[in-house]
Amino acid sequence: MSASAVFILDVKGKPLISRNYKGDVPMSKIEHFMPLLVQREEEGALTPLLSYGEVHFLWIKHSNLYLVATTLKNANASLVYSFLYKTIEVFCEYFKELEEESIRDNFVIVYELLDELMDFGFPQTTDSKILQEYITQQSNKLETGKSRVPPTVTNAVSWRSEGIKYKKNEVFIDVIESVNLLVNANGSVLLSEIVGSIKLKVFLSGMPELRLGLNDRVLFELTGLSGSKNKSVELEDVKFHQCVRLSRFDNDRTISFIPPDGDFELMSYRLSTQVKPLIWIESVIEKFSHSRVEIMVKAKGQFKKQSVANGVEISVPVPSDADSPRFKTSVGSAKYVPEKNVVIWSIKSFPGGKEYLMRAHFGLPSVEKEEVEGRPPIGVRFEIPYFTVSGIQVRYMKIIEKSGYQALPWVRYITQSGDYQLRTS
Domains and CATH numbers, the chain: 5-132 (3.30.450.60), 170-275+389-422 (2.60.40.1170), 279-385 (2.60.40.1170)
Q: What is the pLDDT of residue 365?
A: 74
Q: How far apart are CA 358 and CA 212, in angstroms?
A: 45
What is the CA angle 141-67-33, rounded to 5? 125
The stretch 271-283 carries a mean pLDDT of 90
Question: Of the given ranges (90-99, 174-183, 378-387), which has the lowest mean pLDDT?
Answer: 90-99
> What percentage of the chain exceeds 70 in pLDDT?
90
The stretch 324-330 carries a mean pLDDT of 91
- Residue 105: its H or E element: helix 100-105
Kindly report the length of the chain. 425
- Residue 371: its H or E element: helix 367-373
Which of 273 and 40 is assigned the larger pLDDT? 40
Give the number of other Cβ atoms within 10 Å of residue 328's Cβ: 11
**Per-residue pLDDT for 79 more than 80?**
yes
**This prediction's pTM:** 0.73
The stretch 150-161 carries a mean pLDDT of 66
Which backbone phi and psi does 374 adopt, to 5 degrees? 75, 175
Q: How far apart are CA 353 and CA 343, in angstroms?
A: 24
Alpha-helix runs per DSSP H in 77-121: 77-95, 100-105, 107-117
Alpha-helix runs per DSSP H in 139-272: 151-154, 217-223, 246-252
Give 221's contacts (C-beta < 8 A, 6+ positions apart).
none
Which backbone phi and psi does 161 adopt, to 5 degrees? -80, 155
The stretch 115-141 carries a mean pLDDT of 77
Q: What is the pLDDT of residue 121?
A: 86
CA distances for 355 relative to 279, 300, 301, angstroms:
10, 4, 7
**Per-residue pLDDT for 112 more than 50?**
yes
Cβ atoms of 165 and 205 closer than 8 Å: yes
Of 31, 39, 40, the C-alpha closest to 13 is 31
Query: Please, which pLDDT band fits residue 144 given cuts at 50, 70 and 90?
Result: very low
Cα dihedral 327→331→332→335 (10° resolution): -10
> What percentage of the chain exceeds 90 in pLDDT?
60
Q: How far apart are CA 51 and CA 156, in angstroms?
A: 38
Of 269, 304, 305, 306, the C-alpha closest to 175 is 269
Q: What is the pLDDT of residue 384?
A: 96
- 334-374 pLDDT, tens digit per residue, is 999 999 889 999 999 999 999 999 999 988 776 555 454 56
Cβ atoms of 21 and 5 closer than 8 Å: yes
- Give Rg (Cα) of the chain: 27
**Per-residue pLDDT for 229 more than 70?**
no
Give the number of other Cβ atoms within 10 Å of residue 283's Cβ: 20
The stretch 289-308 carries a mean pLDDT of 89
- Single-letter code of the amino acid located at 55: V
Q: Which residues pair with 5 in a beta bridge?
A: 20, 70
Q: What is the pLDDT of residue 356?
A: 96
- 162-215 pLDDT, tens digit per residue, is 889 999 999 999 999 999 999 998 889 999 999 999 999 999 999 999 999 998
Whole-number average pLDDT of the chain:
87
**Per-residue pLDDT for 141 more than 50?**
no
Q: How far apart are CA 386 and CA 303, in angstroms?
A: 12
The stretch 392-421 carries a mean pLDDT of 93
Of 68, 71, 65, the C-alpha closest to 33 is 68
Q: How far apart are CA 344 and CA 204, in angstroms?
A: 43
